[in-house]
Structure 1
Amino acid sequence: MAYNGWGMNRLARPSGRNQYEDHGSLLMHASPMGTQPSPTAPLPSSHFRPPPRSPGYGPLTPTSPASRYGLPPGYHTPASIPPFSSPRPLGYRKTVRHIELQQGNLVFDHPVSTKLLQQVRYNQGEEFTHMRYSAITCDPAQMVACKYTVRQQLWKRRTELMIIVTVCDEEAGSFLRTINAVISNIAHLCNRSKSKTWGMDGWQKIVVCIVADGRSKINPRVLQVLGAMGCYQDGVARTQVAGKPVAGHMYEYTAQVAVDPESSRLYGVDKGSAPMQVLFLLKEQNRKKLNSHLWALRGLAPMLNPNICIMLDVGTKPGGTALYHMWKTFDRASYVGAACGEIEVDLGEGWSKLLNPMTAAQNFEFKMSYILDKPLESVFGYISALPSNFSAYRYAALKDTGPGEGPLATYFKPEEGDISDAKGVFQANMYLAEDRILAFELIAKRDVGWLTKYVRGAKAKIQVPTSAALFVAQRRRSVNGRFFAQLYSVVHYGKVLSGGLNIWRKFLLFFFTIYNFICLMYDWFCLANFYLTFFFLTNASIPITYETYTNGKIATSQIPAGVPDPFFGEGQIIFSVLRELYIMLIVILFITSLGNRPQASKVLYLIIFILFAIVSIIVIYVLIFIMFKTMPKSVAAWKAAVHILSASPAFRDIFFSLGATLILYLIMSCVYADPWHIFTCLLQYLAVLPGYVNITMVYAFCNVHDVQWGETAEKPPALGAAAVVTNKQGAQIATVEVPVKKSDINANYEEYLRDLSRPEIKAPSKRDKVTKQQDYYKLFRTNLILGWMFSNALLIIVLSSNSMMQWIATHISPVLASSAQSYNPYLTFILWSVLGFAVVRSAGSLFYLGFRLVLG
């Protein structure tokens, strides 16, 4: 038997009758995969192209040829199809198969529909004609010890890329956005004919691992999509093997078709699209995304032994060349242990989604983060947050250095370890941002100097929350996770010193740790800082200095307190009402956050966002008013600008801090050739910013005790057991009842196509039961909120009280006393610190561009 260099063919089967046409009991022994491959025709020499939407494979409508899908003659109109219901009962006959266990495990090959094989280009060879099913009865970390195998290792194929796609209960449209983008990226890699790694057979080096979080949690339509692709079949899985419960169901198949998310059309079958090796692991229980990563990295990765692992969440749509750019970063620099690309907000056709202020604000935040923050962190060699929805890791860098020690050991501590001690609530919140923990542990790994990088050329789009309630609920986990994980990295900086980085890199990370600590302090006092900025800018006691130009001389005068008024004499009343409103909103936030979920208080959170936006708009108006009243009004006055700046601290601070910050944002956005968010999203971001910060911080800290993970879904219905007996030769034989006849398998496949042709009926979402938390967790929340509230309140009371400021200035600093009489020094500190952060971030961003131009 010959090996043709691109795939393994159908295994040798016992000669004689066609066993798949029998209806009775059969004795079928699963042959070890990859031992006797048969020759087949090689792939054509033409390059692969991204799968277009093919009009030849349209939806199941009366205008489509039914014979193309093998539909029954009775099908004429969509109305003749019964209403969609799931899970649908198996309507086909099943045949008893007696399968010899492979090293004690239930693993067997099951034929795919001939209707599917009629639509694809390559319909010969075991990987195309059969799907492989494995019932996993052990923990993920024990899969190698229990002698489970995957096709890739049996065929001795090298795995360069392992693409991990995590699925929970997302809709089929989100799933197809991601999986179709992956197909396009695989086609691009196969088109790189001059590459030493990729080329026409490059798809053999890529395995797409789809890990679904719970059999009862996964959307039934996603299973229909996978069934139409040939990667899943009803009726073959078991929930018990030889008395052992099955923890996961693993399906392996090399797919050649995809489904269009808009029309449910099959496409890619007639244009030479690259095959895609799919490993679909359906977990029996719902145990959240961290557990899905455990299955992928502890269970599947040791068998595949990939070079690079790329993480994707369902709903993330990587660009057509994103995976190549991500891989190239590792290929170019052997010291890169992890990398992340740029996450972009899906703005819709013609940027129509920017009409929603929440979407526009998030778009501005994402853009500035990937223009300033990520490049700065990349210069230091430490990306503090590698987004789990689009990031990549070198598998060698993830491996542990010893039992219970290393990146993966720390990353999977909530799954493999015990965090129920007194430190549990801190660690539990820390692991809400587990990607930050993994990034820190990777650079702190002993004896190895791994670095993390930002890849500007790798872009992926995501859909963001469009309502205030969804936004607050989503940000709760990220805010708490970021705060505690960042605190963990600052406190445990000593691990970096004992790691394998060189002395220069450790020196840089020392300064980066100081930078992170300062950011933590600003996060802690953000509640007070926002209120104090609003208070000082709207306080009628702030004097405004202005200039006059007469007889060739510049003269400065001070406007009396409250005159002129930005609201034509009503400013004191308006400002007084707004300050009371601001405090009232904070109180309402605390009360609401302690007792209600955002989804149950949608209108209230929307009103709070609107009121905070009104406050923000008034602050912007006051800033513009102060700038207009204090700025020079003539050419001669501008020549004496130094005099004006020294005489007018309000103009100086506002102009040089906020004005220079916005100018830096614009300059850096232009340098990165992406300035459009400045013009389309800046105003929405400034309006939403106070609510953006106050609401998310208050809600996050008020729910710091909520650290749900683990099994939350109900137990799914049983699929049947596989009884195991030992024959006379000592071999273990499993008895399973599965559809075997070709007509039954085809009927099942036709059912997937029918289901996909019907419009998806979205079931109303159900609220999960809230897990009761321990008393210690709630006590920790109480102490944290009290400490946070009182520290911020103390800062507000001290700095907003004139008598307190005068007492501090008189007894501590005479310089402060003179400053306080003319202008509040704390407001000066806040305004200039904003500029300081912008300068540091911009400098790091420029260094990143320089290194990118020199080093590539």
Structure 2
Amino acid sequence: MAYQGTGNHSPPGYDDGGHRLQDLPAGNNYEEEASRGLLSSQTGPFTGPFDDPQQRNLSPARPTSGYSLTETYAADAGYHDPYSAGGSVYSAQSGENPAAAFGVPGRVASPYARSETSSTEAWRQRQAPGGAGSGGGGGGLRRYATRKVKLVQGSVLSVDYPVPSAIQNAIQAKYRNDLEGGSEEFTHMRYTAATCDPNEFTLHNGYNLRPAMYNRHTELLIAITYYNEDKTLTARTLHGVMQNIRDIVNLKKSEFWNKGGPAWQKIVVCLVFDGIDPCDKDVLDVLATVGIYQDGVMKRDVDGKETVAHIFEYTTQLSVTPNQQLIRPTDDGPSTLPPVQMMFCLKQKNSKKINSHRWLFNAFGRILNPEVCILLDAGTKPGHKSLLALWEAFYNDKDLGGACGEIHAMLGKGWRNLVNPLVAAQNFEYKISNILDKPLESSFGYVSVLPGAFSAYRFRAIMGRPLEQYFHGDHTLSKQLGKKGIEGMNIFKKNMFLAEDRILCFELVAKAGSKWHLSYVKASKGETDVPEGAAEFISQRRRWLNGSFAAGIYSLMHFGRMYKSGHNIIRMFFLHIQMLYNTFSTILTWFSLASYWLTTSVIMDLVGTPSPSNGHTGFPFGKTATPIVNTIVKYAYLGFLLLQFILALGNRPKGSRFSYLASFVVFGIIQLYVVVDALYLVVRAFSGSAPMDFDTTHGVGAFLGSFFGSTGAGIIIIALAATFGLYFVASFMYMDPWHMFTSFPQYMAVQSSYINILNVYAFSNWHDVSWGTKGSDKADALPSAKTTKEGGKETVIEEIDKPQADIDSQFEATVKRALTPYVAPEEKEEKSLDDSYKSFRTRLVTFWIFSNALMAVCITSDGVDKFGFTNSATDRTSRFFQALLWSNAVVALFRFIGACWFLGKTGVMCCFARR
């Protein structure tokens, strides 16, 4: 178990003498902190969101401005009593003009102090140098002085920009006054316009990163990949990371973290945003509030060479909670956030997640050379001490190459999200996976998938072939790699890269000459949001199922590469067992569609069809009605299963929401009906005068022989006990049984839909290898950088040099936007024209197929005799063919009569025609 206070020694090969980790004292309530913010604890006149009354006199003199939000929001004497009602939390809820909210009269509001018509359009306007919103309190254009910035090696644009005074003043004095790490670490944000491929982001080409420039060893690189999540989801992840870093820094008795420099200097947080266009611009305001981003500094290109990624660097002590409360340091207590080295990589174009990881590993990783890289998706909140638990797993196992924690669904306050059956089913699925699947695979040493949303890798373990194979899925390398690239792959390999994390796991374990293994760390937990609607759920699982199936086949086909690894004979023995297990699981998955139908049909026949084994009765509607109901249920099952193929082959889930919702409901009702039948089967097997076909009169041996040799009820009871019984036992063993009571019934209802809807849609759309990302990306709002020769030698650019007062004034509006409560946009359910056409086509084809099928069933099936048809199927078939033949004969005769009439008429009229 993690975090034992004693006995944790370094593994062989480590020279740090071992370490001891100690649990933090109880009382760190994360939810309370996130809900109240540190701002609410202030009293006195300095109630701005950043200012610390103890720090104002300690702040070093600045030549441009000593601005802080004290001056901005402080009240004039006649308007506001600074000591009345204590402090106030700044959360941008007090009015459109933040200055007016704090009693400052006559102040002109910034033109961007509110959301404007849209955050994207407002952001575009703010990118113009000296344009609206980039200056002081008033609107309009301003002309600024300029400064000349020298390019690194004549081609790399890397500029330091002063951060707002309020952000500087928020840094605790003990860090601000310690200039060993770099005099500009807390006063300036560093911006680099990377005009190169990630593989070319090297020291040799003039690129560098602050931690390397300060000669710091990076032990932990925490990466957050982002696509288009809102500011609440992003803040949930970022604030959770900040809290986890605080846990590490507060480890007083850790020999590792407390030597060789402060612990916070060994940790770097890197945010990688996948394109400017899909990015939610409100998230950029949140990042600007903590100091890691500024409007108006990005350059679209440098001398016509397009910028590939915009890289910002700053060390901050600020954080914004998911409910838009600003957290800043107030004292040296254990709840105070330490400085965190942050990097923000904003890619200019949307080039997908694998490319984001190429920036992380090939560009930043090779410069920082971290020991462990932790991967998080925006929206995943790491739990208390979770990142520490992941790191500790690597620290105590020198052969551990990768690890993952427990991901669980976000259930909301009071578990209210469990009201949605889809959320409850996914919660149960995640829990059982973490209780049964992940521990099993971890025991073998090969976890088939370390979720990209919450996993960690040892950097030197994935270097080489694992990353090379992984990056074959990067679209930006398709031309360079040729046939080995994503565009040259067949459809099977393209689907494999939809589950790219599975590829990296296999390549890591099979790495030649190495003996890396993978593990599951139960002490590390992460919370993530899950799809709440049927359409979103189906689209997500399409990528997961197709990718995992293709990657699973890939790992089985290439298992022979394990013999080139450095695993010992014991590990290889268990890897062979796991290979056989995975092969058997793949076969079961392939035949799951037929298996589920046969199970449903057999159970209904066992309890519904009158026979000597059930006393010639039918459950639950009696011996007459039950067979009729069962027949209807079977045809409904097959009918809706056929509907899934029709929908999957021609429609998007979002364009057929009602059809898919109805399918989930129908399959859920059928599943519950079958579960009731199965429970009745179990009860009847052990009760009554003639309990099924079990021998209960000739001793235990005879009973066991009849039970395990049964071809009907006995084998079904065994299957139920082996599945659902183990769920209960394992959940209680892991001391986490609540999902069995809150989510198990919903999972039972949705279980058949996993096979009949999700698998059908996934396999029917095997050709679709898209991630659902947007198309072209534009950065037209960004200015270009033009260079000149200074004195005929040095290459420089002219950069606007804003006064500190204007930087601070602009920041005032940024804070206002960032701390505005998030309002989720209304999702429009309108169908596109293409969706409307496809929906009509689907209805037409469905009606055509089912009407024909209904007629065929009514005529040829003996099952419909139960509905009151007097004739047998043979008689109905004979009469149908008679009617069909007579009908064809009548139609043919009718056509012949028409032809004769036309011929006779034409011949007669020919005789009387005028010539």
Quickly name the TM-score band, shorter chain normalised: 0.7 to 0.9
Matches of 1:139 and 1:279, distance apart in 2: 18
Q: Determine which of 258, 267, 276 is the counterpart of 1:215.
A: 276
Quote the Cα distance in structure 1 between the aligned partners of 2:747 and 2:697: 32
C-alpha distance in 1 between matches for 2:698 and 2:88: 73
Q: 2:315 corresponds to which residue?
A: 254
Instruction: Specify the alignment match of 1:335 in structure 2.
Output: 399
Which amino acid counterpart does residue 167 of structure 1 have in structure 2?
Y
List per-residue Cα deviations over 1:541-575 (Å, max 9, x = no partner). Answer: 98789xxxxxxxxxxx6346x63443213111111
Matching residue within 129, 134, 144 for 2:187: 129
Identity of aligned residues (%): 36
Change (3 A) 1:159 1:514: same
Q: 1:448 aligns with which of 485, 510, 514?
A: 514
Between 530-539 and 260-269, report the one with greater CA deviation: 260-269
Shift of 1:57: 4.3
Q: In structure 2, what residue type is equivalent to 1:574?
A: V
Alignment of 1:739-778 (within 5 A): 739-763=801-825
Cα pair 2:239 2:319 within 8 Å, conserved = yes
Following superposition, the deviation at residue 261 of structure 1 comes to 2.1
2:220 equivalent in structure 1: 161
Count of aligned pairs between the two proteins? 707
Summarize deviations over 1:262-315 as a string: whole Å, max 9, x none. 144344455632011110000000111111111111111111110000000000
Q: 2:630 aligns with which of 575, 584, 593?
A: 575
Select which of 97, 106, 110 maps to 2:147. Answer: 97
Which of 33, 40, 59 is the aligned partner of 2:91? 59
Counterpart of 1:390 in structure 2 is 454
Post-superposition Cα deviations, 1:486-538, rounded to whole Å, max 9, x if no partner, equal 00000010111112222221221112111111111111111111111111112
Query: What amino acid is the match of 2:798?
Result: T
Q: In structure 2, how many angstroms separate the alpha carbons of the residues matched to 1:378 and 1:762?
A: 39
Q: Which residue of 1 aligns with 2:251?
A: 192
Counterpart check, 1:110 vs 2:161: yes
For each residue in 1:29-62, what CA deviation from the matched residue of structure 2 results, as whole angstroms up to 9, or x when unmatched? xxxxxxxxxxxxxxxxxxxxxxxxx965422354
Q: Which whole-Å CA distance do the structure 2 matches of 1:651 and 1:129 have between them? A: 75
SS in 2 for 1:573: helix
Structure 1 residues 239-278: aligned runs within 5 Å: 239-268=300-329, 272-278=336-342
Confirm whether residue 143 of structure 1 aligns to residue 201 of structure 2: yes
Whether 1:437 and 2:488 are equivalent positions in the alignment is no
Which residue of the other structure, out of 626, 629, 636, is the alignment partner of 2:681? 626
Whole-Å separation in 2 of the counterparts to 1:598 and 1:147: 48
Counterpart residue type for residue 247 of structure 2: H
Name the CA distance, whole Å, in 2 between partners of 1:70 and 1:98: 39
**Residue of structure 2 in register with 1:688 after alignment:** 750
Measured after TM superposition, the shift of residue 740 of structure 1 is: 1.8
**For residues 83 and 711 of structure 1, do their structure 2 counterparts lie closer, same or farther at Cα, with a shift above 3 Å needed?**
closer
CA drift of 1:449 comes to 0.6
Matched AA of 1:527: L
Matches within 5 A, 1:27-42: none
In the superposition, relative to structure 1, how do residues 474 and 19 fare at CA in structure 2: closer, same or farther (>3 Å)?
same
2:543 to 449, 457, 477: 477
**Per-residue Cα deviation, 1:422-458 (whole angstroms, up to 9, x for no partner):** 7421111000000000000001111111000110100
Q: Distance in 1 between matches of 2:111 and 2:782?
A: 32
1:174 corresponds, among 209, 227, 233, to 233
RMSD of aligned Cα (Å): 3.2
Measured against aligned partners, the alpha-carbon deviations of 1:634-667 in whole angstroms (never above 9, x if no partner) come to 8995994554454562332222221243222212
Residue 735 (structure 1) aligned with residue 798 (structure 2): yes
Q: Deviations over 1:64-93 (max 9, x none)?
A: 996899997446999995543324223224
DSSP 3-state at the match of 1:237: coil
Work out the CA distance in 2 between the residues paired with 1:79 and 1:105.
34
- The equivalent of 2:720 in structure 1 is 658
Q: Over residues 123-152 of structure 1, what are the superposed CA-to-partner deviations in whole Å (9 max), with x where a residue is unaligned?
A: 454111100000000000110142200000
Q: Which residue is 1:712 aligned to? A: 775
Q: Which range moves more in the overlay, 667-676 or 275-284? A: 667-676
> Is 2:300–2:779's contact at 8 Å kept on the other side of the alignment?
no
3-state SS of 1:277 partner: strand
Instruction: Name the counterpart of 2:648.
Output: 593
Q: Structure 1: how far apart are the matches of 2:798 and 2:673?
A: 74
Is 2:156–2:207's contact at 8 Å kept on the other side of the alignment? Answer: yes
Is the 8 Å Cα contact of residues 578 and 615 (structure 1) preserved in structure 2?
yes
Residue 197 of structure 1 deviates from its aligned partner by 2.1
SS of alignment partner, residue 382 of structure 1: coil
1:232 maps to 293
Secondary structure (helix, strand or coil) at the match of 1:601 reads helix
Which letter maps to 2:461? A
Alignment partner, residue 303 of structure 1: 367
2:672 to 617, 636, 645: 617
Q: Residue deviations 1:751-810, cap 9 Å, x none?
A: 11121243445556699999x9xxxxxxxxxxxxxxxxxxxxxxxxxxxx99xxxxxxxx
* Partner residue, 2:593: 527
TM-score normalised to structure 1 length: 0.78
Picking from 427, 441, 447, the partner of 1:377 is 441
Shift of 1:177: 0.4
Do the aligned residues in 2 keep the contact of 1:341 with 1:390 (CA within 8 Å)?
yes
Q: Which amino acid aligns with 1:721?
A: S
The DSSP-based 3-state class of the residue aligned with 2:575 is helix
1:499 to 551, 565, 583: 565
- Is the alpha carbon distance of 1:414 and 1:63 closer, same or farther for their aligned partners in structure 2, counting shifts above 3 Å? closer
Q: How many angstroms apart in 2 are the aligned matches of 1:663 and 1:450?
A: 35
Q: What is the rounded CA distance, in whole Å, between the counterparts of 1:488 and 1:525 in structure 2?
A: 19
Structure 1 Cα separation of the partners of residues 632 and 439 of structure 2: 43
Partner in structure 1 of residue 620 of structure 2: 566
Deviation at 1:245, TM superposition (A): 0.7
Give the corresponding residue for 2:907. none
Aligned letter for 1:432?
Answer: L
Measured in 1, the distance between the counterparts of 2:299 and 2:829 equals 29
Q: Which residue of 2 aligns with 1:86?
A: 119
SS in 1 for 2:613: strand
Aligned residue type for 2:301:
Q
In the aligned structure 1, how far is the partner of 2:830 from the partner of 2:257? Answer: 45
Work out the CA distance in 1 between the residues paired with 2:686 and 2:164.
Answer: 77
Within the alignment, does 1:668 sit opposite 2:730 as a pair?
A: yes
Deviations 1:384-442 (A, max 9, x none): 00000000000000110xxxxx0000000022334467742111100000000000000
Partner of residue 432 from structure 2, selected from 348, 362, 368: 368
In 2 relative to 1, CA 431–708 (structure 1 residues): closer, same or farther, beyond 3 Å?
A: same
Which structure has the larger Rg over C-alpha atoms? 2
The 3-state SS of whatever aligns with 1:539 is helix
Q: Which residue of 2 aligns with 1:835?
A: none
Deviation at 1:601, TM superposition (A): 1.6
Q: Residues 335 and 499 from structure 1, CA distance in 2 versus in 1: closer, same or farther, beyond 3 angstroms?
A: same
